[in-house]
Amino acid sequence: MLAYVFWHWRQTQTAAQEYEGRQRAFHAALAAAPASGFLRSFSVGLAGAPWAAEGGEAYEDWYLVQDFGALGALNEAAVSAGRAAPHDAAAAVAGGGAGGVYRLRSGAALYTPTYAYWFGKPEGMSYAELLAQLTPAVEHAHAALWMRQMVLGPAREFCVHGATPVSLPAVCDALVIPLWPAWPELANTRP
């Protein structure tokens, strides 16, 4: 499973409620007429990620697809047919954005994570060694471990999504970012 991750933030003159409403309309249009290989999307709000809105309030959309072919189909579908107008309405009020591609390495994708742990591979440690240390912690916490692909994206190389706090090995030195759901919207979850 792959994920196209898109960080975006609103223009200062756009109210958060309006911005989020436009984003939700796009996600709903994509869910109603999905591209080939598209599995689902979710969006979370966050603050403190230096690669998004200079650490200010931003959003992180996760578009889950089967493979790289499905990623291409999603790219075309997002701006065509019944998805074009909601996409364009959302993009019109965005203040900026950046994207990356991640692959699920262990665990199962979470659709309403409340914590994100971002970190890089420690210097001098092999990927096999790091994954061997991470997998038990990820599985124990029923979390998801994502790894950046092809060095595409501004964020750190690894992300662990958890619904509850995850005890990662200290060697990870992770940036922990609390999340709140933006799509699908859950009642009373916005800080």
User: Residues 35, 70: contact at Cβ < 8 Å?
Assistant: yes
User: Residue for token digits 């958060």?
Assistant: 16
pLDDT at residue 8, rounded to an integer:
98
Distance CA 64, CA 34 (A): 11
Question: What CATH code is assigned to 2-183?
Answer: 3.30.70.100
User: Digits of tens for pLDDT over the chain (191 positions)?
Assistant: 999 999 999 999 999 999 999 999 999 999 999 999 999 999 999 999 999 999 999 999 999 999 999 999 999 999 999 999 999 999 999 999 999 999 999 999 999 999 999 999 999 999 999 999 999 999 999 999 999 999 889 999 999 999 999 999 999 999 999 999 998 875 445 55
pLDDT at residue 78, rounded to an integer:
94
Distance CA 27, CA 185 (A): 11
- Residue extents of the structural domains in the chain: 2-183
Q: pTM value?
A: 0.94
pLDDT at residue 189, rounded to an integer:
53
User: Residues 128, 38: contact at Cβ < 8 Å?
Assistant: no
User: Residues 48, 95: contact at Cβ < 8 Å?
Assistant: no
pLDDT at residue 187, rounded to an integer:
47
pLDDT at residue 190, rounded to an integer:
52
End-to-end CA distance of the chain: 30
